[in-house]
């Protein structure tokens, strides 16, 4: 190799380096470029090793040309390195939380309420809300349970002290059932009525199957010519839509003071589908009460029982939700203990 070949090779290296560095945008690529151009096995290093084979009078000059080229390359790499570090630093947000925050969801009671509302709205019911702090009269007297009537015992009511007793409406209570909305709705609007009243209810009971606060939904339909087959149709509709197409509704004779005739409503068991199993014993699970609105109740609501008839039903939300297929909770109190390990399962 002579001096000119040596200088040409250096110029080629410089030219190639210039063109390659102009397209580098990442730190990793820059590291590779560095080793390619000034690393131990780079073409430039190779040339530096060749100097000793050049004629003695050109060695110093060629050495200095090669070193200048090497320094140029080094300094350009350093400039780009600083630039890339600056950019990367600015991409880091030091205030960002390194941990992913857990995303919550609605409590299953809220979701059940939405689902039930939607099921009934599809067949023309509308949702109403009535007070949880209620008068005795709406919860009992207007429902054909006069003062001191023993039937009231079943409702385990919380009475509120220190509030004046109203002459007509009696004492203040925490409503023990959504049926207290029945006469309220009759006094609010004229028939036809198709209400679904969903609300918190309170009873003085706490054990594996009761919490002192729970939710009910109450259906009330009043129109001309309403009969039991309409009630059964609505119950069948609800049961297949809420529990599933393979589930059935059944009504059994019962007694409530505010409906006549009265029924208890069952849904076929989701495990054995009505055959009878360990969970349900006889194939059916009780989901609530229902019946044809008692004429006395219609009268309290200023509705003429000779002209109109109606049906009502009242179901517990927590109980019904837990009877949906695949959900088994052996202590209903867990629902309101706010233990996230329990709640996230739903
Ligand atoms: N209110 C009754 C209860 O809480 C249920 C019911 C509602 C029964 C409507 C008949 C008609 O047990």
What's the chain's average pLDDT? 92
Residue 64 Cα to ligand 1 midpoint, Å, equals 102
Residue 181 Cα to ligand 1 midpoint, Å, equals 11
Residue 65 Cα to ligand 1 midpoint, Å, equals 101
What percent of the chain has a predicted confidence (pLDDT) above 90? 72
pLDDT band at 133 (very low <50, low <70, confident <90, very high): very high
Taking the CB of residue 236, how many other CB atoms lie within 10 A of it?
A: 14
pLDDT at residue 279 is higher than 80: no
Q: Contact at 8 Å (CB) between 285 and 323?
A: yes
What is d(CA 81, CA 75) in angstroms, rounded to the nearest whole number?
Answer: 10
Predicted confidence at residue 84, as pLDDT, reads 83
Q: Which domains does the chain have, with CATH numbers?
A: 3-87 (no CATH), 108-343 (3.30.930.10)
Predicted confidence at residue 91, as pLDDT, reads 66
pLDDT at residue 328 is higher than 80: no
Mean pLDDT across the stretch 319-342? 82
For residue 176, the ligand 1 atom closest to its alpha carbon is 4
For residue 263, the ligand 1 atom closest to its alpha carbon is 10
The owner of tokens 């028939």 is: 191
Residue of 143, 202, 296, 314 to test ligand 1 pocket, by largest number of atoms within 8 Å of CB: 314
**184: CB partners within 8 A, 6+ apart:** 130, 138
Q: Which pair of structure tokens corresponds to residue 213?
A: 């606060």
pLDDT band at 280 (very low <50, low <70, confident <90, very high): confident
pLDDT at residue 325 is higher than 70: no
Residue 13 Cα to ligand 1 midpoint, Å, equals 93
Predicted confidence at residue 326, as pLDDT, reads 59
Residue of 256, 265, 286 to test ligand 1 pocket, by largest number of atoms within 8 Å of CB: 256
What is d(CA 292, CA 148) in angstroms, rounded to the nearest whole number?
Answer: 24
For residue 262, the ligand 1 atom closest to its alpha carbon is 10
What is d(CA 252, CA 286) in angstroms, rounded to the nearest whole number?
Answer: 10
84-126 pLDDT per residue, tens: 877 766 667 777 777 878 888 999 899 999 999 999 999 999 9
Residue 320 Cα to ligand 1 midpoint, Å, equals 14
Predicted confidence at residue 164, as pLDDT, reads 85
| Region of poorest pLDDT, from 53-67, 190-204, 221-235 | 53-67
∠ CA(334), CA(335), CA(338), 5° rounding? 85
36-60 pLDDT per residue, tens: 999 999 999 999 998 999 999 999 9
pLDDT at residue 281 is higher than 60: yes
| Region of poorest pLDDT, from 7-11, 234-238, 268-272 | 268-272
Indicate which residue's Cα is closest to atom 10 of ligand 1. 290
What percent of the chain has a predicted confidence (pLDDT) above 70? 97
| Region of poorest pLDDT, from 2-11, 173-182, 196-205 | 2-11
Mean pLDDT across the stretch 190-204? 97
Half-sphere exposure of 180 (CA within 13 A, CB side): 29
For residue 311, the ligand 1 atom closest to its alpha carbon is 11
Predicted confidence at residue 89, as pLDDT, reads 65
Q: Contact at 8 Å (CB) between 160 and 133?
A: yes
Residue 215 Cα to ligand 1 midpoint, Å, equals 13
For residue 154, the ligand 1 atom closest to its alpha carbon is 12
Residue 264 Cα to ligand 1 midpoint, Å, equals 9
Q: Which residues does a 6 A CB cutoff place in the pocket of ligand 1?
A: 177, 179, 218, 256, 259, 288-291, 312-314
For residue 316, the ligand 1 atom closest to its alpha carbon is 4
Measured in degrees and rounded to the nearest 5, phi and psi for residue 106 equal -65, 150
Residue 2 Cα to ligand 1 midpoint, Å, equals 109
145-174 pLDDT per residue, tens: 999 999 999 999 999 998 889 999 999 999
What is d(CA 230, CA 292) in angstroms, rounded to the nearest whole number?
Answer: 10
What is this structure's pTM? 0.72
Indicate which residue's Cα is closest to atom 9 of ligand 1. 313
Residue 337 Cα to ligand 1 midpoint, Å, equals 27
Mean pLDDT across the stretch 167-189? 97
pLDDT band at 327 (very low <50, low <70, confident <90, very high): low
Residue of 179, 196, 309 to test ligand 1 pocket, by largest number of atoms within 8 Å of CB: 179
Long-range pairs for 50-53: beta carbons < 8 A, 24 or more residues apart: 50/1, 50/6, 53/1
Residue of 288, 292, 298, 301 to test ligand 1 pocket, by largest number of atoms within 8 Å of CB: 288
């Amino acid at each position: 190799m002579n001096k000119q070949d040596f200088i040409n090779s250096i110029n080629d290296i410089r030219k190639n380096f210039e063109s390659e560095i102009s397209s580098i945008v990442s730190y990793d690529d820059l590291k590779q470029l560095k080793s390619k151009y000034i690393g131990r096995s780079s073409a430039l290093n190779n040339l530096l090793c060749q100097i000793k084979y050049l004629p003695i009078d050109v060695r110093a000059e060629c050495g200095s040309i090669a070193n200048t080229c090497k320094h140029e390359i080094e300094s350009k790499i350093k400039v780009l390195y600083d630039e890339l570090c600056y950019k990367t630093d600015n991409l880091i947000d030091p205030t960002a939380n390194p941990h992913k925050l857990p995303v919550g969801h609605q409590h299953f009671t809220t979701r059940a309420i939405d689902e039930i509302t939607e099921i009934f709205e599809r067949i023309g019911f509308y949702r109403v809300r009535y007070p949880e702090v209620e008068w005795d009269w709406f919860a009992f007297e207007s429902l054909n349970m006069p003062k001191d009537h023993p039937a009231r015992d079943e409702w385990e009511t919380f009475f509120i002290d220190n509030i004046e007793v109203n002459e007509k409406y009696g004492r203040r209570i925490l409503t023990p059932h959504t049926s207290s909305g029945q006469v309220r709705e009759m006094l609010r609007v004229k028939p036809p009525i198709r209400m679904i009243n969903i609300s918190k209810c309170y009873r003085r009971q706490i054990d594996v199957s009761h919490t002192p606060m729970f939710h009910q939904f109450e259906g009330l339909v009043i129109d001309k010519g309403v009969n039991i087959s309409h009630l059964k149709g609505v119950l069948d509709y609800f049961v297949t839509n809420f529990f599933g197409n393979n589930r059935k509704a059944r009504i059994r004779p019962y007694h409530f003071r505010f409906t006549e005739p009265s029924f208890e409503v069952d849904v076929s068991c989701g495990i054995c589908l009505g055959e009878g199993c360990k969970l349900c014993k006889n194939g059916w699970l009780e989901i609530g009460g229902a019946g044809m609105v008692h004429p006395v109740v219609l009268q309290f609501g200023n509705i003429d029982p000779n002209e109109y008839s109606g049906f009502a039903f009242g179901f517990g939300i927590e109980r019904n939700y837990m009877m949906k297929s695949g959900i088994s909770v052996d202590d209903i109190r867990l629902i309101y203990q706010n233990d996230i390990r329990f709640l996230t399962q739903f």
